A and B are shown apart, each in its own frame.
Chain A
C-alpha cells in the first residue's frame, strides 16, 4: 500500500510530468512562463487546486451521481480556483498581476479535470492526494524549467521570489557583453523552447 502511494506520487514528477510527457496543460505552460518566478507561482497555484480537488472528489466519489459528475467536479474545482485567486490577490498582489487571467483559467486546465475524472473518482483519498501532489509538483518544475530557460536567454538574468519567502537575484549570468535574446520571452519563443525541451525529454527514456 505504502509503496503504491509512493509510486503514485513519483510518477507525476518524472514519468507523467504533464507538459513534457503527456503534453497537457499547454495554455499556462506557454502563456505565463516568461520568467522562473511566474512559472513557479503558476505551478504552485495549480498544485493547490489539483491537490484540494483531488481530495474532495475522491472523498465524494460515492456520493456524486455519474450523470452530473462533470458539473460537480467543475463546481469543486472552480471553488478552489477562486480561493487561490482571492488569496493571491490578498497576499501576493504582484504575482497576481503578472499571472492575470491565467489564474481563473485554471478552472479549464485539462490536467485538473483530467485527474479528477481519470484518477480521483476511482481511487481512495491517500492515493488521490499523492497523485495530485505529484502531478502538481511535476507541473511546477516543468513550468519553472521552461520559465528559467526563457528568462535566462531572454534577459540574461534571473530575478524573483516565491511568495516573498525565497528570493534569488543573478544578474548578467553570461557576462556583461551578452546581448539578451528578447525573442525567447515573447510568445513564439515559448513554442520553440518548449519544442526543444520536449525533444530533450524524449531523448531520455521515461522508464
Chain B
C-alpha cells in the first residue's frame, strides 16, 4: 500500500512540476516564436503575394479586436490606394493545423492571393500546398461570394493529387478567412482610411 501511494505521489509531483515549468516557458517563448514566424515565414509569404504593392504590407499591419479573438490585418497599397488586406486563418489539415494568409482585393471583393505559411503536412504530398505555387494560384482572382471547395466536393478548386485532406483544409481555411474579412470589413475600412496617400 505504501509503495502504491509513493508511486502515485512521485508521478503526480513530477508531472505537476514539469507542466508548471513548461507553462512558464511557453509564456516566455511565445512572443519570440511569433516574431520569428512573422519575420521568416509569414513576412516573406505576404511580401511575395503582394510583390507589386507600393508599401511594405508587413510594416503596415494592425490588430483588430473581435470579441475574444484578436486578428492581425496586413494592408497593401496598389495604385495609390490601400485596397488590399491580408487576413490570417488556419484549418485542421492531415497533421496539425495548416496556417494560411489570404489577400483580399477590397474594391471588388475578390481574392488577390493565398499562401500556406505554417504546416506539418507530409513532404511530397500535402506539403506541396506550400511548395507548389500552382495550387494556391487557383484562388487568385476568384470572387468570395461563393464558398470554396475541392472539385470532388462540387467546388471549384482542383485538389492536389494524393492530398485531398490538405486541399480541403486550405479551402476551409480560405472560407474562414472570408468570414473574418466580411465580419471585420467595416472596421478595416475605418482603419485604412487615409492610408496610401
| Contact A71 B11, CB 8 Å, known A86-B33, A89-B33 | yes
Number of A-B contacts (CB under 8 A): 50
Cβ of B3 under 8 Å from chain A: yes
Would you call A65 and B3 a contact (CB within 8 A)?
yes
Interface size grouping (class) on chain B:
10 to 19
Cβ of B15 under 8 Å from chain A: yes
Residue total for A at the interface (Cβ-Cβ under 8 A)? 23
Cβ of A173 under 8 Å from chain B: no
B:27-48 near A, CB below 8 Å: 29, 32-33, 36-37, 40
Would you call A83 and B10 a contact (CB within 8 A)?
no
Residues in B neighbouring A87, C-beta threshold 8 A: 29
Min Cβ gap A59→B in Å is 12
Would you call A72 and B29 a contact (CB within 8 A)?
no
| Contact A72 B11, CB 8 Å, known A90-B32, A94-B40 | yes
Would you call A76 and B25 a contact (CB within 8 A)?
no
| Contact A79 B21, CB 8 Å, known A86-B29, A93-B40 | yes
| Chain B interface main SS type | helix
* B→A interface (CB under 8 Å): 3, 6-7, 10-11, 14-15, 18, 21-22, 25-26, 29, 32-33, 36-37, 40, 120
* A→B interface (CB under 8 Å): 63-65, 67-68, 71-72, 75-76, 78-79, 82-83, 86-87, 89-91, 93-94, 97, 100-101
A-B contact pairs, 27 of them (CB 8 A): A65-B3, A65-B7, A65-B10, A67-B3, A68-B11, A71-B11, A72-B10, A72-B14, A75-B18, A76-B14, A76-B18, A78-B18, A79-B21, A83-B22, A86-B26, A87-B29, A89-B29, A89-B33, A90-B29, A90-B36, A91-B32, A93-B33, A93-B36, A93-B37, A97-B40, A100-B120, A101-B120
